[in-house]
Amino acid sequence: MENDLYAVVGHPISHSKSPRIHSLFAEQTGQALEYTAIQAPLEDFAGTVNTFFNRGGKGLNVTVPFKEEAWNLVEERTPAADAAGAVNTLYRDDQQRLCGDNTDGPGLVRDLTVNHGLDLKDKSILVLGAGGAVRGILAPLIAQQPLRIVVANRTPSKAEKLAGLFAGPLPIRGCGFDEVEDTFDLVINGTSASLQGDLPPLSPGIIGPKTVSYDMMYGPELTPFNRWASDQGAGQVIDGLGMLVEQAAESFARWRGIRPDTSLVMEALRDRVG
């Protein structure tokens, strides 16, 4: 029997670690599958997806810049995808309908709570950024029942709008960086500032000796944001490699009905990130 086919679709895609991660998962769980990377033309994401599934492909991961387009394309969405406004996992159901899930937020929460043993209940959380990446993590964070969440962004109106989308019993507020002065239990950097060599201009007071700093970026060395947090005396700094592997494991579980052991894959990748 031929192997089931999976892939990640993005533009660009050559640096994606997903093929390696999923190949390691498949090896470890004894699943017969192949996982490749596809660069879709910017103007033909839908065509690329349809061709892949029509040729018998079983599932796709979707990455930058197509996650919102994937959300629009699908016929069915999981509650996680709905809340995120973005889809990173595609598959077909029994009736051949195209379905979308989003595993980014669950991946982050699993990394925080399972891999790092953090209990987020009654904690104060500061989330930096108000783009697609941050929208994807808010519902799973809220489900952990923290005390409150503040979303701070360079463009304050975007943070206010995002906080408004998730308004409910849990206090959630959107604002600009200069309006944040309290010390938080957990600070999550979801901005892409470091890609431009910047750091969000933040009061050092947001970091205390018990603060955990989580950067959704990752790299072979301390990320610029985590270096800053560490210099301010953060109790712990974590980068986003665990989130990357956990979101992949959530996708794999949805497709194959089996959950891989992520710690082994994390170790294998840790030596090679960059």
Please, are residues 267 and 24 in contact by the beta-carbon 8 Å criterion?
no
For residues 158 and 20, give the distance between their C-alpha atoms in angstroms, rounded to a whole number: 35
Should residue 132 be labelled a site residue for ligand ATR when binding is judged by CB under 6 A?
yes
For residues 222 and 241, give the distance between their C-alpha atoms in angstroms, rounded to a whole number: 12
Q: Is the dihedral of CA 257, 262, 264, 269 positive or negative?
A: positive
161 is catalytic: no
Query: How many Cβ atoms from other residues are within 10 Å of residue 100's Cβ?
Result: 26
Site for ligand ATR in 92-131 (CB under 6 A): 129-131
**Which residues on adjacent β-strands are paired with residue 238?**
214
Choose which of 44, 179, 198, 261 interacts with ligand ATR (CB under 6 A). Answer: 198
Mask 134-173, x = binds ligand ATR (CB under 6 A)?
x------------------xxx--x---------------
Confirm or deny that 131 is annotated as ligand binding.
Answer: yes
Task: Give the residue closest to ligand ATR by C-beta.
Answer: 131
For residues 227 and 248, give the distance between their C-alpha atoms in angstroms, rounded to a whole number: 26
Complex with ligand ATR: residue 58 or 61, whichever CB lies closer: 61
CA dihedral 186, 192, 198, 202 (to 10 degrees): -30
Complex with ligand ATR: residue 93 or 204, whichever CB lies closer: 204
Choose, from 67, 123, 161, 210, the residue flagged as catalytic.
67
Stretch of 15-23, 189-197, 203-211, 224-232 lying at the interface with ligand ATR (CB under 6 A): 189-197
Should residue 200 be labelled a site residue for ligand ATR when binding is judged by CB under 6 A?
yes
Distance of CA 41 to the CA centre of its chain: 23
Confirm or deny that 161 is annotated as ligand binding.
Answer: no
Complex with ligand ATR: residue 149 or 265, whichever CB lies closer: 149
Complex with ligand ATR: residue 170 or 193, whichever CB lies closer: 193
Please, are residues 135 and 161 in contact by the beta-carbon 8 Å criterion?
no
Should residue 242 be labelled a site residue for ligand ATR when binding is judged by CB under 6 A?
no
Let me know how long the chain is.
274
Which DSSP symbol is given to 177? G
Binding-site residues from annotation for shikimate: 16-18, 63, 88, 104, 218, 247
Binding site for ligand ATR (CB under 6 A): 129-134, 153-155, 158, 191-193, 196, 198, 200
Return the active site residues: 67
